[in-house]
Amino acid sequence: MLVYRLFIFLYPLAAKLISWVSPKARLWCDGQKIAFSQINNWNPGKPVIWMHCASLGEFEQGLPVLESIHQQYPGYALLVSFFSPSGYEACKNHSLPDRIVYLPMDSPSHSRDWLAIVKPAFVVFIKYEFWYYYLSALQQQKIPVLLVSAIFRPKQIFFTWYGGFYRKMLALFTHILVQDEASVKLLSEIQVTTPIIIAGDTRFDRVQQIANQPKSWPAIENFVQQYPVLVAGSTWPEDDKELQHFVNNHPAVKNLLVPHLTDSASLRKCQETFPGALLYSAYEAAFLQGIPISDSSILIIDRIGMLSSLYRYAYVAYIGGGFGADGVHNVLEAAVYGKPVIMGPTFQKYLEATELVDKGGAITVNNGQALDSTLQALFDNETERKKMEQIALDYTVSKRGATNKVLQVIQENRLLIK
């Protein structure tokens, strides 16, 4: 308990201190200042369903659930809250929720005031969200709260000798819906009394929705034409370093590079790594105006929101993050199109990445030399590429349906009333 209290006390102070040099920290601090004003005058005129997400990835994970709830229970207003400014900024204009806001930092007073204003009838937390005071207040007021698409690993604090306080948080949920059997086993070993249900991962439903209605990018289609294409998504400088040799030395392959960060400094560094690369914003502007464009095999995407649709152009997809400490990003966005996936060595804490590697739909590499040879082999060997494509596609198809299981839990336990 003491450690948690120190965290929620020190986190805002640390964010404020580094806000002078960190745009993300500055956005977070600004968001906390307006969090209550975003809902103080909100009067939806009907009961509220509240979904809380850490950031953009969790919002995408929860979106199929929110859409399905809205279809089944249209008499409720939808409130979505974010902890991360990157998630809030990316989603603040989304058309589905009635209100999108920052969640005030967890505290006894914030949780009490928040619930007094929002008065939620039902709450959904996505994947990793564990906020003690909010959860305690919800339980005290007998407001049902689900943890959806959760996944647990042995090294998490819940399973340590000093994690007793965090284990108590698990008992504050009405139901915990997990992705896999391993999570059930871990929770049973620490005798969690909350009902645990294997529902799967709603991200599989979400990526299928996106793949069914991909956005069209005329400028991209003009760039790639009939060439073989590598799409490198959510890349960091560590990924760019390993990709550098292949991308700069294979002009017969068109490369769509999608950096995870698109601020000016990050884009400039990416351009330095890939000399001669074009920025998508400039390329698209020239294309739309009919201005001749200098030839290049490398296009750096400097606009957010495009990646999930760009993977459909790929012969092979490289997913970034695997050469960093946090691990690989979302492999499902590429796999749902039936694209062979390549990633760096840090992927083990992501179930879908591990399963895709085990099945043969993805390949992991440890360095740039291995990446270079693996990419070359896949572009040269259509038979192997097609084999991986089918494995990736079959895998994503087999994992759909988590959203329906979430709705089934809601209906069977009468957590919402039409």
- Of 212, 208, 205, 147, nearest to 402 (Cα)? 205
CATH class in words for 2-200+401-412:
alpha beta
DSSP 284-313: HHHHHHT------SEEE--STT-HHHHGGG
What pLDDT, on the 0 to 100 scale, is given for residue 295?
85
What pLDDT, on the 0 to 100 scale, is given for residue 217?
93
**If pLDDT is split at 50, 70 and 90, which confidence band does 297 have?**
very high
Rounded average pLDDT over 409-413: 96
Q: Where are the beta strands (DSSP E) in 89-204?
A: 99-102, 120-126, 145-150, 175-178, 196-198
- On the question of pLDDT at 192 being above 90, the answer is yes
**If pLDDT is split at 50, 70 and 90, which confidence band does 214 have?**
confident
* 2-200+401-412 and 211-398 share one fold: yes
- On the question of pLDDT at 418 being above 80, the answer is no
Rounded average pLDDT over 127-144: 96
Rounded average pLDDT over 26-31: 94
pLDDT in tens, 5-19: 999 999 999 999 999
- On the question of pLDDT at 209 being above 90, the answer is yes
Question: With respect to CATH, is domain 211-398 assigned 3.40.190.80?
Answer: no
DSSP 335-357: HTTT--EEE-S--TT-HHHHHHH
Rounded average pLDDT over 402-411: 97
- Ordered by start, the domain boundaries in the chain are 2-200+401-412, 211-398
How high is the mean pLDDT of the chain? 95
Token match 């790639």: residue?
224
pLDDT in tens, 137-157: 999 999 999 999 999 999 999
Calpha distance 34→112 (Å, rounded): 17
The angle at the Cα of 320, spanning 317 to 324, to the nearest 5 degrees, equals: 150
| pTM for the full predicted model | 0.91
- Three-state SS for 189? helix
**If pLDDT is split at 50, 70 and 90, which confidence band does 376 have?**
very high
DSSP-assigned letter for residue 20 = T
Rounded average pLDDT over 112-140: 96
pLDDT in tens, 320-372: 999 998 999 999 999 999 999 999 999 998 999 999 999 999 999 999 999 99
DSSP 205-269: HHHHHHHHSPPP-HHHHHHHTTS-EEEEEEE-HHHHHHHHHHHHT-TTSEEEEEES--SHHHHHH
Beta bridge partners of 363: 342
**If pLDDT is split at 50, 70 and 90, which confidence band does 304 have?**
confident
